[in-house]
Structure 1
Amino acid sequence: MDTRRAAFDACVGLGYHCETTYQLRRITGVESAHFFDWLDLDLDAVTEAVDTGFRDVLRTGAVEPFSDGQCALDRGSDIRFFHDFTPGDGERLTQSDIDHQLPRAQAKFAALAERWRRLTASPAHVLHVHLDAFDEASADDLRRLRAVLAAGHPGHTFTLLWLRRTAPADAAALPPGILTGTVAAAPGRWQGDDRAWDAAFAGLRVPRPRPAPTEAGDA
């Protein structure tokens, strides 16, 4: 099957950070949340989370303030949470803030993990998108993620889209089912470069926003 011409039923972001979530929602118009939305994590952390069925994410006693209290670091999964814990003083997270809010975060991500399991058990053809924001990953890393997804979710129909700032030198080593593309960084704009993302998705048959209904009397 020509995966670039295939029709995808859903797009699921796999990090690296918020740029991926913002752009996928802009491109598809789909606001439904997925497990890795708005998180900060590299490809190794994504692969490990999927491989372990998310069981090591947000374990009690493993989450602590990080980066001078700007986020919470989950030591069990190496995921940084910038949006799921709120500083009690409005400035910097404390361990007390995290401990108090952890049960709510655990419930949220347990629900998102269950949503992931339902999607991967469904007949949907899913485009999983990872932004390699710092050009850190290799073709071997993508092959490992593909193998973990296939082994953990037999019957799941999926394609991986590996986006980098520059083209990978080892793209020829990728097996079928893994696409590559580039999206330039947008200095000073965490959302990324809209035109670069549009170009990366050109020709991909992903869900698209529906046009607003035309009201009677509109020219």
Structure 2
Amino acid sequence: MYDVCVGLGYHCESTYQLRRVTGAERAQFFDWLDLDLSAVRESIAADFANVLRPGLCEPFSNGACVRDRGSDIRFFHDFHAPAGTALTPALIAAQHPAVRQKFGYLADRWRALAASRSRVLYVHHDAFDESGADDLAALHGLLRSRYPHHDFELLWLRRTAPEDAAALPPGIAWSTVAAQPGRWEGSDAAWDTALAPLDIPRAPAP
């Protein structure tokens, strides 16, 4: 049985669904962020030192969010502008220390989990079917090299089945979750089906 499920993006759908299914509300580093798998790998490889460095955050998507040029992570929920207005460089600079402190705390939580006895299932939602088996293998190898005593496996969730699934090394499973247009949370039914075979923590029945 896995003790903890930890999302690795791509965006808010994975965070919402993992919390819904498991009932866990404890924040993890990549929760509610918008980022591709390369940004996940680079952040872990840098021990998160590349995230939110001063002077590298800028308004993005017409000021709807903040893009960190150092990590290529998009922050949609951590920087705030007055209602009806866009984020500006000045607003970002004023809020940056507090946001950086928050993510420093979450980086410490990540390290503590990797050093613990917990068995962890990392879940990467490949929301745009961008990655291949070699990308997931590289992530698995990175986690194994950085945290050699860590008990973990990876789950790779795509919209469609990967053509190169046979190339996945042990410790990586895959499944699919169909998109639900018009609903950022995704399809509850699709996520339930994908996660049903796994021995993961479950939210109490309503």
TM over 0.5: yes
TM-superposed deviation, 1:89: 5.7
Question: Does the 8 Å CA contact 1:64/1:95 hold for their aligned counterparts?
Answer: yes
Preserved CA contact (<8 Å) 1:84 1:105: yes
Aligned mates of 1:47, 1:90 — CA distance in 2:
35
Which of residues 136, 139, 148 in structure 1 aligns to 2:142?
Answer: 148
Give RMSD over aligned pairs: 0.9
Counterparts of residues 80-95 of structure 1 (less than 5 Å):
80-88=74-82, 90-95=84-89
1:165 to 159, 174, 190: 159
The alignment status of 1:12 with 2:6, answered yes or no, reads yes
Does residue 134 of the first structure (1) align with residue 128 of the second (2)? yes
* Amino acid in structure 2 at the alignment position of 1:62: L
Confirm or deny that 1:120 pairs with 2:114.
yes
Q: TM-score, normalised by structure 1?
A: 0.92
The Cα shift of 1:202 comes to 1.1
Q: CA deviation at 1:119?
A: 0.2
Find the aligned partners of 1:161 and 1:89 in 2 and give their Cα distance.
38
Superposed displacement of residue 211, structure 1: 4.4
In the alignment, which of 183, 187, 192 is matched to residue 186 of structure 2? 192
Report SS of the residue matched to 1:187: coil
CA distance in 2 between partners of 1:125 and 1:170 (Å): 27
Aligned to 2:29: 35
Counterparts of 2:186 and 2:151, CA distance in 1: 28
Q: Does 1:44 align with 2:38?
A: yes
Cα offset, 1:90, TM superposition: 3.8
The residue aligned with 1:216 is none
Q: Which has the larger radius of gyration?
A: 1
Deviation at 1:209, TM superposition (A): 1.3
Hey, what's the Cα distance between the residues in 2 that align with 1:109 and 1:189? 27
Give yes or no for contact 1:88–1:97 (8 Å, CA) kept in 2.
no
Q: Residue 65 of structure 1: SS of its match in structure 2?
A: strand
Structure 1, gaps ≥5 residues long: 1-6, 213-219
**In the aligned structure 2, how far is the partner of 1:25 from the partner of 1:209?**
8
Percent identical among aligned pairs is 61
Within the candidate set 101, 105, 124, 2:99 is matched to 105
Tell me the CA shift for residue 160 of structure 1. 0.3
Paired letter, 1:30: A
- With over 3 angstroms needed to count, the CA separation of the structure-2 counterparts of 1:195 and 1:89, relative to structure 1, is closer
**Which SS does the other structure have where 1:114 is aligned?**
helix
Asked if the contact 1:11–1:129 (Cα under 8 Å) also holds between the matched residues in 2, the reply is yes
How far off its partner does 1:91 sit?
2.0
User: Residue type of the partner of 2:63?
Assistant: G
If the length of structure 2 is used for normalisation, what is the TM-score?
0.98
Q: Aligned equivalents of 1:110 and 1:102: distance in 2?
A: 12
Which ranges of structure 2 fall in alignment gaps of 5 or more residues?
Answer: none
Greater than 3 Å deviation, 4+ residue runs: none
2:53 is equivalent to residue 56 of structure 1: no
1:68 matched to which residue of 2? 62
